[in-house]
Amino acid sequence: MAGLGLALGSHYLPRATASDAFESKTSKTSPLFRFVAIGDVGTGNIGQMAIAEVMNDYYRQHPFELVLMAGDNIYEDGNIRRVGATFSRPYHYLRRQNVPFYAVLGNHDIRTNNGIDQINFSGFNMQGRYYTFSKGIVQFFALDTNPNADWSTQLGWLEKNLASSTAIWKIVFAHHTLYSSGIHGSSPELIATLSPLFARYGVQLYLNGHDHNYERTIPLDGTTYLTCGAGAKTRPVFSSDWTARSAARLSFATIDVYPKRLEIQGIGKNGKVFDRGEILIG
């Protein structure tokens, strides 16, 4: 159920204007907490190391309490023997600060032992192929969007947990795109499968990787879709009618949590903020 080609009506978008490094122009008040989202990092290459260092610098100025990893944690085949080069070494500083990472499985991760070794790796904090956890007023839902996932069981679990959630903010993260103007493009199957649940139960944000770019959509039936799959390498990205911002640049996203809004920033390899967005409680 991966993405099926480029999104219809898309065109190339080469814009990428940076502002002052780590400067927040959106809010002057402190958030309840802050977290980071990043995907497709597991290369151990110079791009991953560069972005990891920017994350370190950002943490020193604006501490964050957790990191979401949107899959493809270990290239090319998910072999846990490479976890030192692709995770422990790049994120050594953050792990020393006891910043927890929460991962999901990407398509490359299931190529070795169907991802079981990654699920069992304590550094990824995975409670299974899909799981949920809460932080303050946010409940996070981690999904397995691979084609071989146990979709029937997982969807029943997701609907039950979304229906019973009392969290102000409901955030889902997984590997594959729903709406995307990148190379993989949008997935009509995943849109049909997941977006009705998101709309019914008030999921405000879906985070993913898979496409190696940054893209933030406008709210679609109440859900903003954020692709943050440029944590180690990039591919071209386009723009669609529902795109608020897209950029083909090494980057990660920060999300500041407030009682009535989420503030999103895209931060590039140069440490500069190139995107700002806001999600408001309806």
Q: How far is CA 280 from the centre of its chain?
A: 19
Q: What is the mean pLDDT of residues 217-224?
A: 99
Identify the pLDDT of residue 209.
Answer: 99
As to burial, measured by CB atoms within 10 angstroms (0-12 exposed, 13-18 middle, 19+ buried), residue 198 is buried
The pLDDT confidence band at residue 23, using thresholds 50, 70 and 90, is low
Partners of residue 133 on adjacent β-strands: 140
Partners of residue 140 on adjacent β-strands: 133, 171
Q: What is the mean pLDDT of residues 45-72?
A: 99
Identify the pLDDT of residue 13.
Answer: 33
Does residue 8 carry a pLDDT above 60? no
Is 0.85 topped by the overall pTM?
yes
Q: How far is CA 63 from the centre of its chain?
A: 18
Q: What is the mean pLDDT of residues 80-102?
A: 99
Provide the token pair at 234.
Answer: 């990039």
Identify the pLDDT of residue 19.
Answer: 38
Q: Is the peptide bond before 76 cis (omega within 30 degrees of 0)?
A: yes
Identify the pLDDT of residue 245.
Answer: 99
Does residue 83 carry a pLDDT above 70? yes
Does residue 120 carry a pLDDT above 60? yes
Partners of residue 101 on adjacent β-strands: 67
Looking at domain 11-23+32-280, its CATH superfamily turns out to be Metallo-dependent phosphatases (3.60.21.10)
Give the mean pLDDT of the chain.
93
Identify the pLDDT of residue 27.
Answer: 57
- Please state, in angstroms and as integers, the Cα–Cα distance from residue 100 to each residue in 50, 169, 171, 257, following that order: 20, 20, 17, 17
